[in-house]
Amino acid sequence: MGGFRCRRCFMIFFLFFGKCQLDTISVTFDANSIRSTTSSQFVGVTLDSGLIRHKWENFDLRSLKVLTLAKGLSPYTNTYLRIGGTFADFCTFTPSALKNDTEQYRKASAFHDLFYEMTRSKPKNQTEFYMSARIWDEIHKFIQEAKFDLIFDLNVLMRTEANEWNSTNAIQLLKYTQRKGYRMAGWELGNEPNSFHHLNSSINVTAESLGQAYYRLSQILADFPTIRGRILTGPSTTQLNKKPTIRYFTSFLETKGGETVTSPNFHQYYVNGRTATVGDFTNSEILDSFEDELKTGNMIVALTGNERKLWLGETSSAYGGGAEGLSDAFVAAFMWLDKLGVSAKNNVDVVMRQSLYGGKYALLDAKTTNPNPDYWLTVLYRRLVGNKVLTTSSSRSPDVRFYTHCSAEGYLPGSVTLYGMNLRSVGVNVTFPQLDGQLKIYLLTAPNQDLKSRFVDLNGVTLEMTSDTSLPQMIPISGTNPVYMPPFSYVFILADEKTYSKACIHSWYNLS
């Protein structure tokens, strides 16, 4: 504890005496108008369907520790949990735990059988597996206790001999869900269908075929009004930076089934997890590449009508399961926080973080389920940042970037929260001309300036669970303009009660 106190004193020293740094960045925002509005459940999380196959690994749905960490993500509203991913298209529901009792489902889908026969030699055990009713029960008990809202990804590779989606198993799952009285937030059908050729060159689900499947699913869900959920999301393509993917995304949304989708979505990752470097995570050019994808997605969605809003259905730093020692370390925060800021200002409704558990990019450690640094960032974001976005401008530097929102609902109407980062290897002063008086500062840095650290310091104190049933206090430091930001740091700032946004206060009262 003595070391923690020492680092905290050192941080206070920086905040008040680091202002002799020469370089000063000015950050301003438009307090009079709302730029965009996200869902109040803007930040969601995912779990891979493959965890069901592997009996959840070290992720115990009944663990008090896991439940405490899950609840920490939902301070005001429930958090969306999507269970899906590559293994969703290998998953068959069965009311029995015994495979021999479910041969009827395999026989109902000759194409499905053929697909699995051709992929049995594929890596990662990409073969069929079964989700029993007991596991479905456990999932629903967990989401109720954890304050999650479930979106489930159904198997689109259940096919008929005519290569159409076979809905038999989906109906079986819906009937069971209705009988048990479970509620759903929404549904998805298939994972990255434009990229099935990576699994096997013989598999092809066209955008038109996927549209037919979604239309069939929308008709089925209409027969289950008590459980269907309001969300139908898709087509869940890979990222929108290549022409074939853009064509697939567009063609799907133009189909009759595509029109039934409430939340058009795609997946996005910045870099290859096998080749990523520390420098990639703080490279402003790599971070900037993401915004073009959002502009493309928003343009396509706008052209297809229905006043829908774009989702990031699955996203993190590095594809291929993440970059070991980086995607789960302090340095990952820069990609994650910037992605939240860029998404919010570009009118994305929901961002689904891959993942809560599983892979090298998870919020929780694979062996211990201890929080990785991005978990604490996500908790702070959910506590402090509201869903109304203000236009923000900063002077001169792409390496010091900030975003402004109306504060979360736990704060005074009209208050604002700013968040941002210093990607430089030297400290900078950041001044906020519109903010008067005392600022509540949540400054996050790497312990011992180690960007690969699996821990994060908040105002000089390392964030760790105090017990399996409680999170630590996350206490801000009071400061004034300018705010000193050390090298490679990020920050959340709440303005003094005397500073407020006209647009935020009007928005708050309109919603009341």
For 93-144, the pLDDT digits (tens) are 999 854 444 444 444 444 444 444 434 334 445 689 999 999 999 999 999 9
Is the pLDDT reported for residue 305 higher than 90?
Answer: no
CATH architecture of 38-387: Alpha-Beta Barrel (3.20)
CB 420 within 8 A of CB 399: no
In degrees to the nearest 10, what's the CA dihedral of 10, 13, 17, 22? 30
Asked if residue 91 lies in contact with residue 156, where contact means CB atoms within 8 angstroms, the answer is: no
> Is a pLDDT exceeding 80 seen at residue 7?
no
Please check the confidence at residue 21 and state whether its pLDDT lies above 60. no
Domain residue limits, the chain: 2-36+390-511, 38-387
- For 325, the token pair is 């020692």
What ranges make up the beta strands (E) of 414-466? Answer: 416-422, 428-431, 439-445, 457-458, 461-462
State yes or no: is 314 an active-site residue. yes
pLDDT at position 14: 52
In the chain, % of residues over pLDDT 70: 89
- Which residue in 188, 314, 464, 497 is the catalytic one? 314
Residue 337's Cβ-count burial label (10 Å; 0-12, 13-18, 19+) is: buried
Q: Is 409 a catalytic residue?
A: no
Q: Is the pLDDT of residue 364 over 90?
A: yes
Average pLDDT, stretch 72-94? Answer: 97
Domain 2-36+390-511: assigned CATH number: 2.60.40.1180
Q: CA 46, CA 363: separation in Å to the nearest integer? A: 10
| Active-site pick, 128, 188, 192, 293 | 192
The mean predicted confidence, pLDDT, of the chain is 91
- The 10s digit of each residue's pLDDT in 235-255 is 999 999 999 999 999 999 999
> pTM of the entire structure?
0.93
Segment 419-456, tens digit of pLDDT? 999 999 999 999 999 998 899 999 999 999 999 999 99
Given a cut of 80, whether residue 12 has pLDDT beyond it is no
Distance CA 234, CA 311 (A): 9
Share of the chain above pLDDT 90, in %: 83
